[in-house]
């Protein structure tokens, strides 16, 4: 019974990692190109674990930072100098 559960966990983790890799934007994939990651994920246990560890380390650290240490995401109109100049 334990063997079946372990095999099921490995299969589900592999499927989840494959789907996650396919849906991840190409610019957010680190270390290897996306097609190589898809092949690496097929390696039992090590592939999905590597994908999850590397993907997690790429998304940690808070909001994305642009030049000057400012967040590069959307801003409100009162934070946009161009908008304020046009008023």
pLDDT grade for 39, boundaries at 50, 70 and 90? very high
CA 86 to chain centre: 37
Percentage with pLDDT > 90 across the chain: 41
Computed on alpha carbons and rounded to an integer, the radius of gyration of the chain in Å comes to 19
DSSP designation for 62? S
Higher pLDDT, 87 or 37: 37
Q: Choose the weakest-confidence range: 12-16, 39-43, 65-69.
A: 65-69
81 vs 74: CA distance, rounded Å: 13
pLDDT of the residue at 15: 95
> Per-residue pLDDT tens for 45-85?
999 999 999 876 555 444 444 455 555 666 677 777 787 88
């Amino acid at each position: 019974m334990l063997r079946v559960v372990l095999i099921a966990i490995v299969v589900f983790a592999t499927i989840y990692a494959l789907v996650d890799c396919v849906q991840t934007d190409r610019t957010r994939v680190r270390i290897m190109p996306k097609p190589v990651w898809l092949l690496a994920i097929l390696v039992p246990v090590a592939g999905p674990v590597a994908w999850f560890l590397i993907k997690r380390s790429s998304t940690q650290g808070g909001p994305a930072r642009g030049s000057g240490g400012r967040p590069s995401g959307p801003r409100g109109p009162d934070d946009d100098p161009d908008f304020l100049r046009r008023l």
